[in-house]
Amino acid sequence: MDLPIPARAWFARGRIDRALSEGAGVGVTTQADTQAARRIGVFGGAFDPPHAVHHALAAAAIDTLALDVLLIVPTGDAWHKSRPLSPARDRLAMCRLAFADLPKARVDDRELHRDGPTYTIDTLTELQQAWPAAQLYLQIGADQAAAFHTWRSAQAIADIAIISIAARADATGAALQFDPENPLPGLNVLPDGVRVLPLPPMPHSATDVRRRVAQGLPIDHLVAPAVAGYIAENHLYQTA
Ligand SMILES: Nc1ncnc2c1ncn2[C@@H]1O[C@H](COP(=O)(O)OP(=O)(O)OP(=O)(O)O)[C@@H](O)[C@H]1O
Ligand SMILES: O=C(O)c1ccc[n+]([C@@H]2O[C@H](COP(=O)([O-])O)[C@@H](O)[C@H]2O)c1
């Protein structure tokens, strides 16, 4: 399924450098700009690269969960991924471009500055300490919901944050197994501790984007124009 992405003037390739240097409207979180936030969403990922469904999830989470702010958190050292990620600088830059049209999104680079493997519990604990009055929402896809019990301190995460899950399809378009009655297998979560976003299962993946770039196939229907421009200008994903 292709998602239309509104092309904004500054998404044009020639303006990417300017957008990056200005932060493209989404900066690193500061205490000032989220001080009043009571509903803080956290959407972490490798974002290698951020694609159309990441954007759709972010927009849906902001609306459905009535978030004051959604932190887009690129992963530092993804201990759970078998392949090395692209440089943090590139993934951070692409996140700034990909989510810039969502006024409530903030790209937060804290995990990129943390030593050692990236654990979401560390991020949520920091946020909880910084904003003790806020309710935290953690946004994940159905693949991560199925693997959630393997995360470090998974139960503690579910105790700290409401987990918001988006259905996902595999490359064939078949929906991943996801039981709304038992959305986080192996965990003890109250019904109001979990939300499911009203989105259909979609098969997009960063793996597919990387593979298509390596094969010289178009990716314009899969990523924002500015992200496609960044990938081309920086010669990313030349090999899958
Ligand atoms: N098509 C999708 N549907 C639902 N959730 C998704 C989808 N793509 C990514 N997500 C979710 O977005 C978050 C970040 O994902 P990530 O950056 O690893 O993208 P990815 O497409 O899964 O990447 P890769 O193909 O490299 O593994 C995860 O919680 C993941 O479950
Ligand atoms: O903390 C953990 O143990 C943990 C295990 C697996 C995934 N995560 C986080 O889940 C998010 C999505 O992961 P991924 O692999 O789909 O990009 C990202 O922020 C990861 O850091 C976190």
Q: Where do the domains of the chain lie?
A: 39-206
Residue nearest to atom 21 of ligand 1 (CA): 205
CB 69 within 8 A of CB 84: no
DSSP per-residue string spanning 105-118: EEE--GGGGS-SB-
Q: Per residue of the chain (240 residues), what is the pLDDT tens digit?
A: 344 333 333 233 333 333 333 343 344 455 555 667 899 999 999 999 999 999 999 999 999 999 999 999 999 987 887 889 999 999 999 999 999 999 999 999 999 999 889 999 999 999 999 999 999 999 999 999 999 999 999 999 999 999 999 999 998 989 887 787 888 989 989 889 999 999 999 999 999 999 999 999 999 999 999 999 999 999 999 987
Establish whether residue 143 lines the binding site of ligand 1, counting it when its CB lies within 6 angstroms of any ligand atom: yes
pTM for the model stands at 0.89
Ligand 2 atom 8 nearest Cα: 120
**8 A C-beta contact, residue 211 and residue 1:** no
Task: Select 39-206's CATH number: 1.20.1260.10, 3.40.50.620, 3.40.640.10, 1.10.1740.10.
Answer: 3.40.50.620
> Residue 27: is it exposed, middle or buried by C-beta count within 10 angstroms (0-12/13-18/19+)?
middle
168 lines ligand 1 (CB under 6 A): yes
Task: Give the ranges where the chain is alpha helix by DSSP (H).
Answer: 16-21, 31-34, 52-64, 88-98, 120-130, 142-147, 154-160, 206-214, 225-233
Instruction: Give the residue among 129, 128, 92 at the shortest CA–CA distance from 107.
Output: 92
Q: What number is the ipTM of this complex? A: 0.99
